[in-house]
Structure 1
Amino acid sequence: MTEPSAQEHTTTQHSSANVEVDTSYENDSSYGDELSSYSTSLTSSVLDYRHENGRRYHKYRDGSYLLPNDEAENDRLDMLHELCLEVLHRKLYLAPIGKPQRVIDLATGTGLWAIDFADSHPQAEVIGCDLSPIQPTLVPPNVKFLVDDIESEWAYERDPFDFIHARYLAFSIKDFGKLIKQCYRSVKPGGWVEFQDWDGYPYSEDGSLDDTGFQRYYDEANNAFEKAGYEVRPGPKLEEWFQDAGFVNIHVEKFQIPHGVWPKDKHLKKVGTWFQAQSEAGLEAGALAALTRYEQWTKEEVILLASQARADGRKRNVHALFDFYIVYGQRPES
């Protein structure tokens, strides 16, 4: 991969032409135990979960993250991991990182990215941090997980990283600019930071999304998240935040992600299948806390909204798309 000059920024648009609809489709060994995998003591506030509307939520820093952390949600996060691997043709990252010695995965979720990275980079010490201790108990010897709030002040600068990775933090973070500046301070000179994230509003190229239950779901849910102070469309803003933090050699790639199996292109059809599977698994979970806590919706009203979105999302003539961005940058050597 050829690196751009220090102040050059590059943007790659994937599938910039309209996504063609498939009109023929009819839609009907060295593993440690649990204690050694965590670098912080798990206090009762970490393990004591909040239960609400039939879902389980984190209790540590209660309320700072509005999606569940139960088994159903963890399964959805694992599907998202597979989706990203499919989008990137089995790559875990795009930054030209070389052979890093110290790596952190922010908001690691179920920890699959950190585990896969540790397996493929045995020379690296890999840390995954999250608000919830939901990661597997059997992990490679060079990965460990800690419970932490990445929007609080870090202590990581004392031993900076070669590579900092973060993925789909939309709907989770209130101040991306501050977080990315924190990353800049915590990465070594010459080190890389990569964020992979969404523009959380769907669209269609043919108007087929207009006035659908699918569109209404995102209008209502996203509005609730935004009113609560969360950033729901960080993807298109990442480049500016990287520039403001002081990164150079910034590279931007944008991918169109279809919802469903309607594209004619085989790769996009497979990507769309994964995206629809995780989406349908997460429609209720994604809106329950935001709408019931901040907009006074009832559980039943959220379930109905999600059901209408699911039904319209399955229609053969609804061609929803989301934009997914990957942005990486380097801290200057000096």
Structure 2
Amino acid sequence: MADPKSRPAFPKAQPTTEPKSPLEASPEPPLETSPETSLEPLEVDDTACFFDYDNGSSQASSTQSLSSSIKDHVYENGRKYHRKSTDEDNKYLLPSDETEFDRLDMTHHMSLVILDGELHKAPIKGDPHNVLDCGTGTGIWALDFGSIHPGSHVIGVDLAPNQPSWTYPNVVFQTDDLEKAWTYKKNHFDFIHSRMVASAIKDWSKYTKQMFDHAAPGAYVEISEHSMAHIYCDDGSVPEDSVFYAYGNNLSDALLTLGVDVRQFSGSFFKRHLEEAGFVDVQVFTYKVPWGSWPKGKKFKYLGAVCAEILKTGFEAYGLMAMTRLLNMPAEEAREICTGCYNTIIEGKQRGYGFQWHVIGRKPEAAAE
């Protein structure tokens, strides 16, 4: 991973009185009055497509010796997986190799594009003293936050030790299972950030309740997740027999065998769990993320190109191990579905998109035990 200080800076979002773009609905009204699919349709740009990302060298670096890496990992379908994460109840079925580290860092970049360079939607003021980053992945969000907030103490936690051995003085990484009992102090964290952990969380009620118990009174939490089971389309260009549906249905069925029902995911789903845990002032920010550079508008087109680059390995990262191990699907068939999805994106005739949700909530000041 490159030094965070060497990454190009993104401009901070500035207050504006202009209408919001179709990309964002902020905040999201209750689902029954304004479903996510009511966002303004994306317009197709028939002029040209571009994909300006190359396959440059990985930004992630190994944090273990070769011998240790071999012992701690398993290899299936040509990809490397963290042994403990996959062998222990199939807890986490995404790869743990350089290709995946690049994808995770690119996903972080996509989040910055969506949020106009911001790391979060929560109204954080100053340097929150104690910060927890759940599902830290390569640690890139935690490092960026720690760099911007030198007065914060940031803990990044993940199932797999895929983080760099070097950090800023105020950032530490830990390996742990977020679904087990948290051992942190209660009423402790001034900001809890959770991103892209949905495929590994079976009990969202327990997960958000632990967030509530360990958040300090007045603290904010933020959940950032994306749609996984569905593809959305505004112009009818995605047919019923699309390979996208084959992928979504098989991935959903596979994860359901583990008790993870990704078909439920929506902004309102995460909002409800935060409210039931006790958080107040819960808001949902919903964004459309095009699969490919087919939309009009500079930001949409660029965002779609970045998403396509992520999905080049993302379909395989989420689906390959899940389909072969949990559905007993032949590897060739699973890989054909994943490759078919990416090739369909490159072709540009099926103009689909997914949703990205940022859901924030605040723990009441009087909630301390």
Q: TM-score with structure 2 length normalisation?
A: 0.80
Indicate the SS of the match to 1:250. strand
Deviations 1:40-98 (A, max 9, x none): xxxx8997122222222222343211111111111110110000000000100011122
Displacement of 1:166 = 0.5
Aligned match of 2:203: 175
8 A Cα contact 2:49 2:293, kept in partner: no
**In the alignment, which of 3, 6, 11 is matched to residue 28 of structure 2?**
11
Distance (whole Å) between structure 2 residues aligned to residue 46 and residue 160 of structure 1: 37
**In the alignment, which of 190, 212, 216 is matched to residue 242 of structure 2?**
212
Indicate the SS of the match to 2:84. coil
Confirm or deny that 1:109 pairs with 2:137: yes
8 A Cα contact 1:46 1:60, kept in partner: no
Moved over 4 A (4+): 12-15, 44-47
Distance (whole Å) between structure 2 residues aligned to residue 23 and residue 101 of structure 1: 49
Distance (whole Å) between structure 2 residues aligned to residue 235 and residue 94 of structure 1: 17
Indicate the SS of the match to 2:173. strand
Higher mean alpha-carbon deviation, 165-174 vs 76-85, is at 165-174
Aligned match of 2:45: 22
| Corresponding letter in the other structure for 2:28 | T
Indicate the SS of the match to 1:171. helix
| Corresponding letter in the other structure for 1:179 | Y
Q: TM-score with structure 1 length normalisation?
A: 0.88
Distance (whole Å) between structure 1 residues aligned to residue 146 and residue 218 of structure 2: 21
Aligned match of 1:295: 327
Distance (whole Å) between structure 2 residues aligned to residue 20 and residue 297 of structure 1: 37
Displacement of 1:231 = 3.6
Displacement of 1:198 = 1.0
**In the alignment, which of 72, 78, 83 is matched to residue 110 of structure 2?**
83
Indicate the SS of the match to 1:297. coil
Deviations 1:201-249 (A, max 9, x none): 2111112122222232222222211232224253421110011001011
More RCO (CA 8 Å, sep 6+): 1
**In the alignment, which of 310, 325, 330 is matched to residue 357 of structure 2?**
325
**In the alignment, which of 247, 252, 255 is matched to residue 225 of structure 1?**
255
Aligned match of 1:54: 78
Confirm or deny that 1:139 pairs with 2:163: no
Aligned match of 1:151: 179
Aligned match of 1:244: 276
Distance (whole Å) between structure 2 residues aligned to residue 178 and residue 46 of structure 1: 34
Aligned match of 2:214: 186
8 A Cα contact 2:186 2:216, kept in partner: no
Displacement of 1:157 = 2.8
Aligned match of 2:96: 69
Higher mean alpha-carbon deviation, 204-213 vs 110-119, is at 204-213
Distance (whole Å) between structure 2 residues aligned to residue 223 and residue 209 of structure 1: 21
Q: How does 1:245-260 map to 2 (within 5 A)?
A: 245-260=277-292
Structure 1: gaps of 5 or more residues: 2-8, 29-33, 38-43
8 A Cα contact 1:14 1:256, kept in partner: no
Structure 2: gaps of 5 or more residues: 1-14, 16-25, 30-35, 52-60
Distance (whole Å) between structure 2 residues aligned to residue 134 and residue 235 of structure 1: 28
Higher mean alpha-carbon deviation, 298-307 vs 229-238, is at 229-238
8 A Cα contact 1:214 1:310, kept in partner: no
Query: Once superposed, what is the RMSD of the aligned Cα atoms?
Result: 2.5
Deviations 1:264-283 (A, max 9, x none): 11101111111110011122
Confirm or deny that 1:96 pairs with 2:113: no
Distance (whole Å) between structure 2 residues aligned to residue 274 and residue 194 of structure 1: 23
Distance (whole Å) between structure 2 residues aligned to residue 252 and residue 307 of structure 1: 33
Taking structure 1 as reference, are residues 244 and 103 closer, same or farther at Cα in structure 2, changes over 3 Å only?
same
Q: How does 1:155-166 map to 2 (within 5 A)?
A: 155-158=183-186, 160-166=188-194
Say how many residue pairs are matched: 315
8 A Cα contact 1:108 1:129, kept in partner: yes
Displacement of 1:163 = 0.3
Confirm or deny that 1:124 pairs with 2:152: yes
Aligned match of 2:307: 275
Indicate the SS of the match to 2:102. helix
Distance (whole Å) between structure 1 residues aligned to residue 287 and residue 277 of structure 2: 24
Distance (whole Å) between structure 2 residues aligned to residue 145 and residue 333 of structure 1: 29
The share of aligned pairs that are identical, in percent, is: 37
Distance (whole Å) between structure 2 residues aligned to residue 273 and residue 316 of structure 1: 11
